[in-house]
Chain A
Amino acid sequence: MSRQAKRGLLGISLVLPSFLILVFIVVLPIIGSLKESLTNDGGGYDLSNYKFLFTDKLMRSNIIFTLEVTVISSLLVLAVSYVLAVYMRFNNGFAVRWIRRMYMIPIFIPTVIATYGLMQLLGNHGWASRILYHLGQDSFPRMIYDMKGIIIANLWFNIPFTTMLLGSALSSVPDAVIESAKDVGAGRLRIFWRLILPLTYKTLLVAVTFVFMGVIGSFTAPYLVGPNAPQMLGVSMEQVFGVFQDRQLAAALAFFTFLLCSFIGYFYVLSMIKEEGMRRS
């Protein structure tokens, strides 16, 4: 066997396990649910489930609600994380040391427990409203059982990891570049817009992908702190599947969520391929 062939075989055998796992855990179930979602009541195949998905008032409001929550959460998470990461990269002091030590804590707290904690904190008679009451403020906006609650929960769950991701990208921006820019007279804002942002833009895209997919498929927090209607797609899927026992409609919901995620994933993969091509040339 030639050296070339040996190397090729090794390559394939390295890729094979993950490829097989992907096929059995991701690809086959997706094909399965696509087939299920196209099945109508009579056992034939048509688009009736998707038609219901986009024409039923309740389902349509669920989809819009999910997209709203996802987009708002993603933007807020990115903004907060980016500011936090930039702050930690270019400052050094007491506050930074403490942020660095503490910001990972939410990752280690189980979702359910964190969600109940938020309910205790932000509920109608929670700590926040009680403290405000003693400060003379007796009206408290409704956060739990509302969209605001879901968004706050998403911030809690997603900021640490996103900050970590962006932090590592920022630390790979060489000090020399920034210093030389300063030497030729560039101001702070100019350095940020012309140097830092373009250099970390790729990671920002990766972060968007992670947050978007995490939020759109979330279940525990929206289930516990979300409103009864409209619901996020994950909660609605569980209800359609488990309570109404409409497997076809649940499959259609699942496939639609998958399409939304792959839409974002497409841009991610596209940018990765572009980068790969740039490196090679």
Chain B
Amino acid sequence: MLNKKKALSLTAGLVLAGSVLAGCGADKKAESAADGGGNSTSAPAASSTEFTFYYTGSQNVDDLWKTLIPMFEAKNPDIKVNPVYVASGTAAQPTYDKIMAAKQAGKGSGGVDLYESSIDDVTKGKNDDLWDSLSDGKIPNLNNVDQQTMNDVSNLAVPYRSSAVVLAYNSDKVTAPPQTLDELYDWIRANPERFAYNDPSTGGSGSSFVITSIYKFLPEEAIHNSDPSIESQWTQGFDLLKDLGKYVYGKGIYPKKNQGTLDLLASGEVDMIPAWSDMVLDQIAKGQLPASTKMQQVTPGFNGGPTYLMVPKLSDKKDAVYKFLDFTLSPEAQAEVVNKMQGFPGIKLSNMPQDIQDSFKGVSEGYRTFSLGDLGKDINQRWQSEVAAQ
């Protein structure tokens, strides 16, 4: 009996060890296969092309692409899109590094044929000469996009959707929402514990409130400056945030994530929050936020702007990617952007149906695009030690 037991546990041990080793082996194989696929410079098979698309964002971005890609593939049976979803936050940085490293090592585009990211990566890639220049000769639907937006990014990226941080408020309680930043601060002080913004390191809406408050005291052009020498001018803004700490929700409670403050607004614990317009519209539509929720942009505006699609210059499947980009900018796909995730369309509003144009009135304008580069990290760090821990 004892021996049998021993033999049994021995087998179990070996099986366990074996499966662990096998797991490692399989992983490695998959990795090298992916590498091989990305690095191969041989022409793709004539019958079908498969390109790899890296994108990042919250769950709603993933849902959007999981809808758009099958629509595209149904129309273009000879092209297959291989989507790679990278969870939002710091996980996006490695994708950029991957493209950069592949270029430096002379290995093409590192298996990335299309990449979705913010203005920061567009600018970085412009300096590193990573992105392919796009024109309406290759992508006819680029004509639908505002030419000014294309000029801003030197035609290196396609703005396929955008959203902005706005003030979301309960219109039953707030009849005259603040129009300017100073009015907003007055409102916060006059209505203690009825305003909340989320921990800036956990979500863009809180981060936008913090950055907007800090840069209120700086010259307008500073919002495009990513030079660390500007940090000494932040003190006045941080003092303001420290002072506001006494008046925000729970006298200094900053919920986690963009959703954290939206939950507070939904339960009626606060009456006003900074929030992403697409999240607010989406949750009103689904009934998660009361219908009395309204939005207001202030002047000077919160952060906002397009999300871009970039084609790495060294990708060898550009023709297929161009077709995909053309599809993305078609009114049909843009309607999905609006309906599925309540984003502002990437193409000019005049190309969209009237009801969509109406729903974005007053919200899809007035925001500012901040590009602070790595300074955001320092703001979060200083906020944590000065404002959260005061």
Contact = CB atoms under 8 A, between A and B. Distances in A.
- Are the chains A and B members of one assembly? yes
A161 interface: no
Interface stretch (A13-21, A42-50, A188-196, A197-205): A13-21
Q: Using C-beta atoms within 8 Å of the partner chain, give the interface range for chain B.
A: 20 to 34
Interface in A14-73: 14, 16-18, 20-21, 56-58, 61
12 contacts: A10-B6, A17-B14, A58-B385, A58-B389, A124-B269, A145-B250, A228-B199, A228-B254, A229-B389, A243-B201, A243-B381, A244-B381
A206 B329 CA distance: 62
Contacts of B268: 125
Interface of B: 6, 9-10, 13-14, 16-17, 20, 89-90, 199, 201, 250, 252-256, 267-269, 377, 380-381, 384-385, 388-389
Given A224-B256, A228-B254, A244-B381, A57 B389 contact: yes
Main secondary structure of the interface of B (DSSP, over half): helix
Interface residues of A, number: 28
Contact of B388 (A10, A228, A243): A228
Contacts of A18: 13
Nearest to B9: A14
B202 to A, nearest CB: 8
B267 A228 contact: no
A145 B384 CA distance: 16
Nearest to A116: B263
A243 B90 contact: yes
B253 A228 contact: yes
Contacts of B256: 223-224
Given A124-B267, A245-B90, 20 more contacts: A14-B6, A14-B13, A17-B13, A21-B17, A21-B20, A57-B389, A58-B384, A123-B267, A125-B267, A145-B250, A223-B256, A228-B199, A228-B254, A228-B384, A239-B384, A243-B90, A243-B201, A243-B377, A243-B380, A244-B377
A229 B388 contact: yes
Given A229-B384, A230-B389, A145 B17 contact: no
A253 B384 CA distance: 17
A229 B90 CA distance: 22
A17 B381 contact: no
A223 B260 CA distance: 12
B362 to A, nearest CB: 30
B385 A17 contact: no
B25 to A, nearest CB: 14
Contacts of A124: 250, 267, 269
A18 B384 CA distance: 41
Nearest to A126: B267
A125 B384 CA distance: 27
A228 B253 CA distance: 7
B165 to A, nearest CB: 18
